[in-house]
Chains A and B, each alone.
Chain A
Amino acid sequence: GQSLEQPSEVTAVEGAIVQINCTYQTSGFYGLSWYQQHDGGAPTFLSYNALDGLEETGRFSSFLSRSDSYGYLLLQELQMKDSASYFCAVAPSDKLIFGTGTRLQVFP
């Protein structure tokens, strides 16, 4: 089967750094994506890793280790607006399989 595991909730304060982990088991793999979803909103694309290593996009970075079937999203200089749910997703084929989601709460 296919599954992705994430922590259900993470809390942090403004200005801090937080890491959201994702471990996956899939029958095929084309890459690991991360999406952000605010309450009542739609998922929005954050990053994509096809190869091992770190990808940086502004305050957000994403890491992938294919040998460990593991990745993480790193959020730096946290802001209140970063409070949202974060989903990792794998693409075993032309579709996305989403993780269970991590709710991030940022406190002042």
Chain B
Amino acid sequence: DTAVSQTPKYLVTQMGNDKSIKCEQNLGHDTMYWYKQDSKKFLKIMFSYNNKELIINETVPNRFSPKSPDKAHLNLHINSLELGDSAVYFCASRAGTGRYEQYFGPGTRLTVT
């Protein structure tokens, strides 16, 4: 019955590797997001998709590439991982117009060594 799910929960990898994080929501929401939370707990939006279309790209390095195969899924692929990419990545979703609450997934803690 999980509303927004992410896999994996933990990801430990070495610099230079490529990795993916998957996100799925079963709420029927139209809009999905990726956020990055750094070690100081600062939450920053990275991307937003509405019905599989990219609508927000917050000047994220192009090593990060989101992909939305359908409106229930939003995956994040990261190429050439760097130490500074270590963070917790949250996926979130939001219902349509007029509903502002966002529902967050459990997060993926990425550690780059």
Contact = CB atoms under 8 A, between A and B. Distances in A.
B100 A44 contact: no
Interface residues of A, number: 22
A95 B33 contact: yes
A42 B42 contact: no
B86 interface: no
Chain B interface mostly? strand
A97 B45 contact: yes
B15 interface: no
Contacts of A53: none
Contacts, number: 48
Interface in B24-51: 31, 33, 41-45, 48, 50
Interface residues of B, number: 21
A30 B94 CA distance: 15
Contacts of A93: 56
24 contacts: A30-B100, A33-B100, A33-B101, A37-B41, A41-B106, A41-B107, A42-B90, A42-B104, A43-B43, A44-B104, A45-B103, A50-B100, A87-B43, A94-B31, A94-B56, A95-B33, A95-B45, A95-B48, A95-B58, A96-B102, A98-B42, A98-B43, A100-B42, A101-B41
